[in-house]
A and B are shown apart, each in its own frame.
Chain A
């Protein structure tokens, strides 16, 4: 199975927007101590157009905040974020966000949930929206009988699939994912990883995702950004060949790169320990 084909992408005239972050700072007021805490500190990041970038780093390093800032959900105190030469507000209709939880509306059936973004944008007829939602649900592995199920009747994996279909229904060119499969078991996570690549192969787009799972980062990404204390501490190119296939997970190259990324993560936090001493 060929997934995440890079050759197909070069044929496309448009390969998703690049993300340009320059000296972005975000501060939160810590309610407990009443002190300002720097979450992002003069962060610079360049995500090339059409790339798949994994954000790794320990909890609290600012990964999610960076992702939310790019989505325009988090106000930044200083700096600038440009998405494919447009401001965040202008780029909003071309981006989609996948949350850690499926975040489905419990009173809407699976298909109604997938329809929601298009309903809100109100640019298409109900019929067209439904047709497109049906198609997407099919591609994420829904059988027709499950279309009309409420989220409470769906398993965790199915909910996440519906959530992914909802994100893709607007055909975004920039996809942001915040630990999307964190709550799923490894086998299911792998299957959904492959499905994600498969879905993105047909339409090229830039993907930025946060994860705690190194294997997921290695498998999905073209580049890995290791964050530390509100900055990008290290930027690693993924040497694994494209397209990615499921059996690549058991290759030596995969294991080697996995080891390399682990070492980088350890080194980055080791630096912090040394500083403390």
Chain B
């Protein structure tokens, strides 16, 4: 990285536009909030059914500490889950890329991870792993690993034919082809997969908390959401939804930032922005 044209990395560009253009969606958001507020005033909707935007804001202020702590805990779980998925998923993909037989034998089980209803196996996981943080991370991993494995495997295998010939002509070993060609070529695919997975990792953490969290010692977003649901504390519940969404967005932004700075060399040709 150090030798590569530092000046060409436009840092202003790197930090802005981490998300798709925001202007149009922002207008939509404002319109929705206005209509929402109007509807509540005009139709006299009960606050338990639908609190006003202002009430949500108020709950956010009141539950600030609880929300912040819960977001931090869930964020930590999701981050652990996502990191594990990245490391494990990339390793699995590398193994898959080395043998068509291994791929044929194990790929169906990776798809199984994707298709198994996570809520169905969560209770099982609790029996096996206990009412703890580890179980939550495990749920997050199970739900977020598939896009990483499938994208990275595809990246490792879909190598430009000329480049493959070039390595063959120069007598490259299997190891050289893997480290100097396949893995660098797959980085952009790994980033793509991770972008899909970061939302899933948060979902996994919250679902895990739904099942685990009621033990009392733990209070992530999933836990407080179940508690607030019981109290019909709708406005705070909505604030929690917002917090969890922002968590996913934060991960998404972080991945994009990483791909534009540290990983830029490997992602610049893939043109991920148009995805």
Using CB atoms and an 8 Å cutoff, list the residues of chain A in contact with chain B. 71-73, 92-93, 95-97, 99, 101, 103, 105-107, 109, 116-117, 119-121, 148-153, 170
Contacts and interface: CB of A to CB of B under 8 A. Distances in A.
A97 B165 contact: yes
Given A97-B165, A105-B163, A117-B170, A150 B180 contact: no
B124 to A, nearest CB: 42
12 contacts: A71-B165, A71-B169, A92-B171, A101-B162, A103-B160, A103-B166, A105-B181, A107-B185, A117-B166, A120-B171, A149-B5, A170-B170
A236 to B, nearest CB: 29
Interface in B139-194: 160, 162-163, 165-172, 176, 180-181, 184-185, 187
A95 B185 CA distance: 26
The 10 A-B residue pairs with the shortest CB-CB distance in the complex, in nearest-first order: A106-B269, A103-B162, A120-B170, A99-B162, A117-B170, A107-B266, A120-B172, A107-B265, A107-B184, A73-B165
B130 to A, nearest CB: 43
A120 B268 contact: no
Interface centre among B5, B169, B185, B268 (most CB of A within 10 A): B169
Given A73-B165, A120-B167, A152-B268, 15 more contacts: A73-B169, A92-B169, A95-B169, A101-B162, A105-B163, A107-B185, A107-B266, A107-B268, A109-B4, A116-B170, A119-B180, A148-B4, A150-B4, A150-B265, A151-B269
B274 interface: no
Nearest to B3: A148
Q: How many B residues touch the partner, as a band?
A: 20 to 34
Contacts of B165: 71, 73, 97, 99
Interface string B13-49: 0000000000000000000000000000000000000
Contacts of A109: 3-4
Contacts of A93: 171
Contacts of A73: 165, 168-169
A96 B163 contact: no
A116 B4 contact: no
Contacts of A120: 167, 170-172, 176, 180
Contacts of B169: 71-73, 92, 95-97
Contacts of A149: 5
Interface string B217-260: 00000000000000000000000000000000000000000000
Nearest to A101: B162
Nearest to A99: B162
A105 B180 CA distance: 9
B8 interface: yes
A105 B269 CA distance: 10
A170 to B, nearest CB: 8
Contacts of A106: 266, 268-269
Given A92-B169, A107-B265, A121-B170, A153 B5 contact: yes
Nearest to A145: B5
A88 B166 CA distance: 15
A106 B266 CA distance: 7
Interface string B68-81: 00000000000000
Contacts of A152: 268-269
Interface centre among A92, A105, A119 (most CB of B within 10 A): A105
Contacts of B187: 107
Contacts of B176: 120
Interface centre among B166, B171, B181 (most CB of A within 10 A): B166
Nearest to B271: A152
